[in-house]
């Protein structure tokens, strides 16, 4: 097989040099789409059978925008509330309350309570 029979032969020399393939960015990308109010959510462009979650800059809400097979959009608002961490229990306070309850329970005479109950039964 000679050089004219190969499919990769270039008679013009260097014009068809081998191009090194470009590297494709395989890192996942994400973005937060911000809109202003319902009009901004309704004007968001998207294809058929798609959905997007849009952050509203004018308040604490997000818009769920979905489109059907014909491209008609449905826009649904959702309120978002900043997260508040629950306060940690104060174990020192709990310990002192239990100790005080134990003192109250242990300080009462047991016999006077039993005698009163037995008097009520005999009446």
Least trusted range by pLDDT, from 25-29, 39-43, 48-52, 61-65: 25-29
CB atoms within 10 A of CB 32: 8
pLDDT tens, position by position, 34-56? 999 999 999 999 999 999 999 99
pTM: 0.47
At residue 66, φ and ψ (nearest 5 deg) are -125, 150
Please, are residues 44 and 64 in contact by the beta-carbon 8 Å criterion? no
Coil vs helix vs strand at 53: strand
Residues 79, 63: Cα–Cα separation, whole Å:
9
């Amino acid at each position: 097989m000679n050089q004219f029979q190969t499919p990769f032969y270039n008679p013009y020399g260097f014009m068809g040099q081998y191009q090194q393939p470009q590297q494709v960015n395989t890192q996942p990308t994400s973005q937060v789409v911000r809109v202003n109010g319902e009009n901004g959510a309704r004007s968001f462009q998207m294809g058929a059978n798609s959905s997007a979650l849009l952050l509203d800059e004018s308040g604490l809400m997000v818009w769920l925008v979905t489109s059907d097979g014909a491209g008609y959009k449905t826009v649904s608002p959702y309120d978002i509330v900043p997260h508040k961490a629950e306060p940690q229990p104060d174990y020192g306070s709990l310990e002192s309350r239990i100790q005080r309850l134990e003192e109250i329970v242990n300080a009462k005479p047991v016999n006077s309570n039993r005698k009163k109950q037995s008097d009520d039964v005999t009446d």
